[in-house]
Amino acid sequence: MRTKLSIAAALVAVGALGAGIGIAQGAAHHRVAAPTHASAQVLFAVVTKAGHLNRGLGVQSAGVIQGTAGRYHVVFKRGVRKCAYVATIGTIGISGVPPTGEISVVGLAGHKAGVFVETVDSAGNPEYLPFHLAVTCPKL
């Protein structure tokens, strides 16, 4: 009886293994091929709470969007729609303690080279806060 149970368990294990291999092979067909070489361009902007560009790379302009506190635009010298945007609240100097708050980024509506940035205080209220924005793009 033990032998029959051992053989049955082995058959179940082999069957499960075969099913797993089949699933893995099927999944391989749905993968996106990784590029053979990585190539990126990094752009950045450090913006004051008043919306002035303090420093940057590849930046055309920066400013406050009038109407609500904490809304900014940053326009780069190239299109950024196929890029990744990352931002953080930060001082414009090289030292100090940054203000507390939160930040959000998205492409700027109607402008292929622009990024919309919104800053709020810790309670979620719109607030003018200085920030750092990094944009990583595929090379042109």
Q: What would the pLDDT profile of 72-85 be if each residue is shown by its tens digit? A: 999 999 999 999 99
Return all residues near 76 (Cβ < 8 A) that are at least 6 apart. 43, 58, 59, 60, 113, 114, 115, 135
Higher pLDDT, 70 or 16: 70
At which residue do the structure tokens 């309670």 appear?
123
Instruction: Check residues 116 and 28 and name the one with the higher pLDDT.
Output: 116
Gap between the Cα atoms of 54 and 49, Å rounded: 10
Dihedral of alpha carbons 88, 89, 94, 96, sign: negative
What is the C-alpha separation between 113 and 109, in angstroms, rounded?
10
DSSP code for 131: E
Reply yes or no on whether the pLDDT at 90 is more than 60: yes
Q: How many CB atoms lie within 10 A of CB 122?
A: 10
**pLDDT (mean) for 32-43:** 76
Q: How many CB atoms lie within 10 A of CB 25?
A: 9
Cβ neighbours of residue 39 under 8 Å, at least 6 residues apart?
138, 139
